[in-house]
Structure 1
Amino acid sequence: MAFNGSYELQSQQNFAPFMRAIGLSDDLIEKGNGKESTSEIVEIGDYFKVTVTMGSQVIVNEFVIGQETEIDSPSGEKIKTIIEREGNYRLVAKIQNITSVVEVTGDQLINTMVIGNIVYQRISKRVS
């Protein structure tokens, strides 16, 4: 239940290089950079529902820990993956050539995504 709650994006690092690396156009990167973003996470046992809202774009992903699932990627593709839990406060997924780690530290939700040598990090603060 460590993930339950609403989070607002506070900062992000390497947004543009990461988005270019996954194939987004400069126009889409410019539109997405700096947008306010909120994440709502519902955690019930091993079931998760994650809703990310950026401007008018809403991405909803539902999954069960350890089971193959199809998620919407930042590029808009549907990608199959398995999300694993490491301890109570960390989720890890390998999505094609991207490693994604989401962890709760205090009142922060930290999402770190790595592709090649590019590390993209989003830090959000719990608001409820």
Structure 2
Amino acid sequence: MAFAGKWQTESQEGYDAFCKVLGIPDDIIEKGRDYKLITEVTQDGDNFTWTQFYPANAQVSNKFTIGKECDMETIGGKEFKATVQMEGGKLSVAFPNYHHTSEISGGNLVETSKAGSVVLKRTSKKL
């Protein structure tokens, strides 16, 4: 149950380059650059609800069970099928344009997204 709780972005590396690779418009990148993203995770065994709250009251909530295919949604509203895996304490999932992992490290939520050679690393503290 290490992931359960409410988390707030403390730092991020590679944000601009990652957003550009995904084709996010410059004005949206600018708005989100210093935004303190809130991530709320509920966990019941292998069942998760993972919700992220973005600027302008936008939010994306995905429900999944480790090892089972599910319907997920991107921040852009694109729906896709994915299977979230748990590997060595890390959650791992392939989004349409990138690969995402989440882990608890030093009491923080560390999320790493990779699109080719471009990496976004976001570290969040528990609230």
TM over 0.5: yes
SS at 2:24's partner residue?
A: coil
SS at 1:10's partner residue?
A: strand
SS at 2:76's partner residue?
A: coil
**Cα displacement (A) at 1:49:** 0.4
Q: How many residues align?
A: 126
**Cα displacement (A) at 1:98:** 1.2
Aligned counterparts of 1:108 and 1:57: Cα–Cα separation in 2: 23
Q: Percent identity?
A: 31
Aligned counterparts of 1:59 and 1:77: Cα–Cα separation in 2: 11
TM-score (norm 1): 0.91
SS at 2:84's partner residue?
A: strand
TM-score (norm 2): 0.91
C-alpha root-mean-square deviation of aligned residues, in Å?
Answer: 1.3
Gaps of 5+ in 2: none
Alignment of 1:1-128 (within 5 A): 1-55=1-55, 56-87=57-88, 89-127=89-127
Gaps of 5+ in 1: none
